C-alpha cells in the first residue's frame, strides 16, 4: 500500500535546493490522471520516481488519506516557525485547521485559540484540545493577541481578523487563500510592528515522510476526525457535505463500502 503524491518536485532546481520544493516548476506540471476517484489512474514517471510513499501495513486506508494534508500542515508550520512558547490563533476549524491544532499540541504550544462560524466544528476543536474556541459570528476575536496566526479559510473577514489579532513581531501564515485573481484589500499594520506575512502550498517528499512517521508513531491520531464514510455511489453526497457542512469534518469515499 502506498500514498501517491499528485505533484512532485524535481529536487534539483534552485527552488528545491533552497527548500522551496513546492514552488518547483515540475511540481506545478505533474499530476495524476484522470483523478483520485477513478478506478484506475495514470501516474507520470516523475511521480513514480519521487512521489510514491510506502505506508506500513499497520496503517489503515482511512489514516492514509491524511498523509498528504498533514504533510501540507507540517510544511506550513515550518514556514511560520511555530514554537512552544507561542500563543496561536487558528482561524477555521475544518480538516486543516484541526490538523494544525493537533500538530501544534505535539509541539506543546502554550495556548491555542480557534475560531469558526460552525458550532459543531468548534465543539470538535475543543474536544481535540483547543484552549479557547470562539464563534466568529457571536463575538470579536480582536481581544486575542497572538504571536502566530494561521488562516485556514479564504474569506476577507478571516484575513482582516487575523491581522487584527497578530502581536508585534508576530507571524501570520495564510494557509488557505481566495480563488486566483481575487483582490482583497487589507489595512496594513504599521511598519513598527515588524510582522511577517507568509504563505505555504503543498507538501514536499520530506514533509510526506514526516507525516507518515507521525501517523505511524501515533504522535498524531486522526481516526477521530472521520465523521462520514460513504460508498462510491454517494460521492455527490460527500461533496455536498464539504460545501455545506452539517456535523461533518472528514468525509471518506470508500469504493468497498455498500
Cα gap 166→169, rounded to integer Å? 8
Answering whether pTM is above 0.85, one says yes
Taking only the tens place, the pLDDT of each residue in 65-75 is: 999 999 999 99
Taking only the tens place, the pLDDT of each residue in 47-85 is: 999 899 999 999 999 999 999 999 999 999 999 999 999
Closest CA relative to residue 216, chosen from 6, 57, 51: 57
Query: b/e string for 183-201 if b means 16 or more Cβ within 10 A?
Result: eeeeeebeeeeebebeebb
Taking only the tens place, the pLDDT of each residue in 134-155 is: 998 886 665 789 999 999 998 8
Interstrand relation of 166-174 and 132-135 (parallel, antiparallel or unpaired): unpaired
- pLDDT above 80 for 246: no
C-alpha cell at 145: 493577541
Q: Which helix (H) or strand (E) holds 213?
A: helix 205-216
Cα gap 221→250, rounded to integer Å? 13
- pLDDT above 90 for 245: no
- pLDDT above 80 for 256: no
Question: Mean per-residue pLDDT for 146-173?
Answer: 92
Q: Which helix (H) or strand (E) holds 134?
A: strand 132-135
Q: What is the pLDDT of residue 141?
A: 60
Amino acid at each position: 500500500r502506498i500514498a501517491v503524491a499528485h505533484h512532485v518536485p524535481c529536487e534539483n532546481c534552485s527552488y528545491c535546493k533552497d527548500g522551496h520544493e513546492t514552488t518547483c516548476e515540475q511540481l506545478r506540471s505533474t499530476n495524476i490522471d484522470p483523478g483520485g476517484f477513478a478506478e484506475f489512474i495514470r501516474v507520470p514517471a516523475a511521480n513514480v520516481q519521487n512521489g510514491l510513499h510506502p505506508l506500513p501495513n499497520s496503517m489503515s486506508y482511512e489514516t492514509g488519506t491524511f498523509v498528504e494534508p498533514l504533510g501540507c500542515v507540517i510544511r506550513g508550520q515550518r514556514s511560520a516557525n511555530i514554537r512552544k512558547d507561542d500563543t496561536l490563533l487558528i482561524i477555521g476549524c475544518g480538516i486543516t485547521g484541526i490538523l494544525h491544532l493537533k500538530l501544534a499540541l505535539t509541539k506543546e504550544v502554550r495556548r491555542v485559540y480557534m475560531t469558526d462560524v460552525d458550532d459543531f466544528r468548534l465543539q470538535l476543536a475543543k474536544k481535540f484540545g483547543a484552549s479557547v474556541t470562539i464563534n466568529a459570528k457571536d463575538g470579536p476575536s480582536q481581544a486575542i493577541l497572538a504571536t502566530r496566526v494561521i488562516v485556514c479559510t479564504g474569506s476577507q473577514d478571516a484575513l482582516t481578523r487575523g491581522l487584527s489579532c497578530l502581536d508585534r513581531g508576530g507571524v501570520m501564515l495564510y494557509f488557505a487563500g481566495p480563488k486566483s485573481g481575487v483582490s482583497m484589500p487589507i489595512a496594513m499594520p504599521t511598519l513598527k510592528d515588524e510582522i511577517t506575512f507568509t504563505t505555504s502550498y503543498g507538501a514536499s517528499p520530506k514533509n510526506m515522510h514526516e507525516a507518515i512517521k507521525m501517523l505511524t508513531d501515533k504522535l498524531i491520531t486522526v481516526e477521530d476526525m472521520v465523521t462520514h464514510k460513504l460508498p462510491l455511489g454517494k460521492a455527490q453526497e460527500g461533496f455536498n457535505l464539504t460545501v455545506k457542512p452539517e456535523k461533518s469534518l472528514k468525509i471518506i469515499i470508500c469504493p468497498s463500502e455498500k
